[in-house]
Chain A
């Protein structure tokens, strides 16, 4: 019937395509999903604006001193700042990148290209996915056991050499612990990137007489590089934001005697702190000394900028590689 009506209308030269009634359900649905977007963005905006406003007193007057200063017992101290935390966080990021990246990519390539598809490989994949969801405190305990304390496993396998190498409660231990923490994330993202390599490229390489390792080196790794890089950088920013595992592996919030320059690697095996630890410490100090609330907010801004810089690098690198890929 309806069709006839439209057809008749068309033949009579009148258009049948004008809207006859308002679509209320559709309009409501659109409003609700738009609202969800606004709510999530608003929370983020309030958080950032509020934090910047709180920390403005520090950032506007002495930003450089704040970046260069060290942990102090009073908030009005001229030398108060986050350099020790920056040192810890930056090196943690670097250690995570140089350890989790090769191990993660290696594991991903093995799982995708070499491991025979069996029940075992399925179980391993499941385990890795679950490991990505294990609470970070648990990894902190693992780090404490592996890298900080001179432990023994199974009653005979001594791990003392690991603790000796890291110097116990040190940036090195923290970096390695967080590398273990983000490893599952790196593996999963790298696996996805490797899986996305077109079969045609792999067959093309094999068809020309490439061995498996040549195929991996010349096709898989270059093609998957953007995805792998993005995953690694996102994992790094996750690692930099973690506080709980750092507390367990012995990050401290006071009593640091040194304030090393970023390139001074001699500080890697010593007592350390990191930005999230400083933030926690200053927030808890604000009852005693309200000025620490401002300092904590400023430290949060520094951490946010650091993480945003990393994410931006990730995006830029990805775009650059994808352009190259054509």
Chain B
């Protein structure tokens, strides 16, 4: 008999802590609730606030503590600590080079792809240490989907783009089951009506905004638990941006979303909680390290931030 912690790790490595297709609908596993998924103290890291629900009501998805990310000797993020909550949109804002994208890419272990990248500190996902040696990064990415800055559909048909994730995850093969997944995903991404008659067309023929919604459909086709979005609208025009933002509001009932954005108004419009990052210049090496300045409900961050640097940033005085 192993300890509870190890059992979860092992199941993560096998078919998953949350079996595909039903992990969100399934009643909470009693073993998971009290200790791991919920914050223990009400309002542990912030005063009670109006916008977001009190923290005790929300399950914690990611629990980040003293996280440092290094590229070789260079420290890109220093001592970041925050909690990401279920069915909320959490925005990371801050000037260029502040480490917000780097931190986001830790959440699904995308930084593993960079040979020199190294992570210290603790990053727990539903209580499981994501950087535990036994955790399989491929399995992590099947549960934690990602949408990138530049729309990057595969040079294949629209259908094949959406079917890609379920196929590599072994959820379905060609046939009615996969057709259903493709249709549902495209519907959730508000793209179905525009593409239902040309599912076999090359995805590169879509407009930029459609491509990005296709990438969102592709990401939710694997039925993930969390969606990470790395500046998903930075390559899009205002109309396409609005559509994506509306889409995110709809998606947060099913998914927890973490979004990195350069656009403060976007963070204010869509997110429940906002984390503000800033840059710290190390005088000796002239390198720039990202630090988490403040993390709170979006309403508080934009109306009455506790930190002067946050206030300067959100009021447009720098950045």
A residues with a Cβ closer than 8 A to B are 116-117, 198, 200-211, 214, 218-219, 222-223, 325-326
Q: A207-B108, A208-B145, A325-B155 are in contact. List 4 more A-B contacts (CB 8 A).
A: A206-B110, A207-B110, A218-B154, A222-B155
Closest approach, in angstroms, between the C-beta of B196 and any C-beta of chain A?
20
In the bound complex, residues from chain B placing their C-beta under 8 Å from that of A325 are: 155
- How far is A200 from B151 in the complex, measured between Cα atoms in Å? 8
* Pair A208/B202 contact, Cβ less than 8 Å: no
* Pair A326/B205 contact, Cβ less than 8 Å: yes
Query: Given A208-B219, A326-B155, does the pair A116, B115 have CB atoms closer than 8 Å?
Result: yes
Query: Given A203-B113, A214-B168, A326-B202, does the pair A208, B152 have CB atoms closer than 8 Å?
Result: no
Main secondary structure of the interface of A (DSSP, over half): helix
In the bound complex, residues from chain B placing their C-beta under 8 Å from that of A116 are: 115
Residue of A with least CB distance to B137 = A206
Residue of B with least CB distance to A212 = B138
Main secondary structure of the interface of B (DSSP, over half): helix
* Pair A207/B145 contact, Cβ less than 8 Å: yes
* Pair B154/A201 contact, Cβ less than 8 Å: yes
Most chain A CB inside 10 Å of its own CB: which residue of B164, B169, B205, B218: B164
Query: Given A117-B115, A200-B152, does the pair A211, B138 have CB atoms closer than 8 Å?
Result: yes
In the bound complex, residues from chain B placing their C-beta under 8 Å from that of A117 are: 115
In the bound complex, residues from chain B placing their C-beta under 8 Å from that of A209 are: 138-139, 141-142, 165, 168-169, 222
- What 0/1 readout, one digit per residue, does chain B (200-234) give for beta carbons within 8 Å of chain A? 00101100000000010011001000000000000
* Pair A207/B219 contact, Cβ less than 8 Å: yes
B128 adjacent to chain A (CB < 8 Å) = no
Closest approach, in angstroms, between the C-beta of A207 and any C-beta of chain B?
4
- How far is A198 from B204 in the complex, measured between Cα atoms in Å? 14
- How far is A206 from B215 in the complex, measured between Cα atoms in Å? 13
In the bound complex, residues from chain B placing their C-beta under 8 Å from that of A205 are: 154, 164, 168
Residue of A with least CB distance to B201 = A326
Closest approach, in angstroms, between the C-beta of A163 and any C-beta of chain B?
43
- How far is A326 from B168 in the complex, measured between Cα atoms in Å? 23
Most chain B CB inside 10 Å of its own CB: which residue of A207, A214, A218: A207
In the bound complex, residues from chain A placing their C-beta under 8 Å from that of B155 are: 201, 222-223, 325-326
In the complex, 14 of the A-B residue pairs with CB atoms within 8 angstroms, ordered by the A residue number, are A201-B155, A203-B113, A203-B146, A203-B152, A204-B148, A204-B153, A204-B154, A204-B215, A208-B145, A208-B218, A208-B222, A209-B138, A209-B222, A218-B164
- How far is A206 from B164 in the complex, measured between Cα atoms in Å? 11
Query: Given A209-B169, A209-B222, A210-B168, does the pair A198, B113 have CB atoms closer than 8 Å?
Result: no
What is the number of residues of chain B that contact chain A, defined by CB distance less than 8 Å?
27
Closest approach, in angstroms, between the C-beta of B72 and any C-beta of chain A?
12
- What 0/1 readout, one digit per residue, does chain B (165-184) give for beta carbons within 8 Å of chain A? 10011000000000000000
In the bound complex, residues from chain A placing their C-beta under 8 Å from that of B141 are: 206-209
B150 adjacent to chain A (CB < 8 Å) = yes
- Ranked nearest first, the 5 interchain pairs of A and B with the lowest CB-CB distance are A200-B152, A209-B142, A208-B165, A207-B146, A326-B204
* Pair A208/B115 contact, Cβ less than 8 Å: no
* Pair A208/B148 contact, Cβ less than 8 Å: no
* Pair A203/B148 contact, Cβ less than 8 Å: yes
- How far is A210 from B222 in the complex, measured between Cα atoms in Å? 11
- How far is A201 from B156 in the complex, measured between Cα atoms in Å? 11
Residue of A with least CB distance to B153 = A204
Residue of A with least CB distance to B215 = A204
Select A200's contact among B142, B150, B164, beta carbons within 8 Å: B150
In the bound complex, residues from chain A placing their C-beta under 8 Å from that of B154 are: 201, 204-205, 218-219
- How far is A66 from B294 in the complex, measured between Cα atoms in Å? 85
- How far is A204 from B152 in the complex, measured between Cα atoms in Å? 7
- How far is A202 from B219 in the complex, measured between Cα atoms in Å? 14
* Pair B152/A198 contact, Cβ less than 8 Å: yes
Closest approach, in angstroms, between the C-beta of A196 and any C-beta of chain B?
13
Residue of A with least CB distance to B142 = A209
- How far is A325 from B115 in the complex, measured between Cα atoms in Å? 29
Closest approach, in angstroms, between the C-beta of B57 and any C-beta of chain A?
30
* Pair A201/B152 contact, Cβ less than 8 Å: yes
Residue of A with least CB distance to B139 = A209
- How far is A54 from B148 in the complex, measured between Cα atoms in Å? 63
In the bound complex, residues from chain A placing their C-beta under 8 Å from that of B142 are: 208-209
In the bound complex, residues from chain A placing their C-beta under 8 Å from that of B164 are: 205, 208, 210, 218
Most chain A CB inside 10 Å of its own CB: which residue of B145, B154, B219: B154
Closest approach, in angstroms, between the C-beta of A45 and any C-beta of chain B?
40
- How far is A149 from B154 in the complex, measured between Cα atoms in Å? 50
Closest approach, in angstroms, between the C-beta of B224 and any C-beta of chain A?
9
Residue of B with least CB distance to A207 = B146
